[in-house]
Amino acid sequence: MTQEDNPQSEPSHGPEHLESIKIAHLTMLQGVITRMGANSFTLKVLISTQN
């Protein structure tokens, strides 16, 4: 069955494509977590210097 036969199904991608999407999502999450950690550290430093 092709994409034209069943328009509601998603187009099939090879395992390499799905793997690259997973890697991109994990890389994005790693960047978000790293920034959150850096922001948390910065806030702690700013708070401690206010006292």
| 17/50: higher pLDDT | 17
The pTM of this model reads 0.58
Share of the chain above pLDDT 90, in %: 61
For the segment 18-28, what is each residue's pLDDT rounded down to a tens digit? 999 999 999 99
| Contact (CB, 8 A) for 11 and 3 | yes
Tell me how far apart the alpha carbons of residues 28 and 38 are, in angstroms, rounded to a whole number.
15
Instruction: Name the maximum alpha-carbon separation found in the chain.
Output: 69
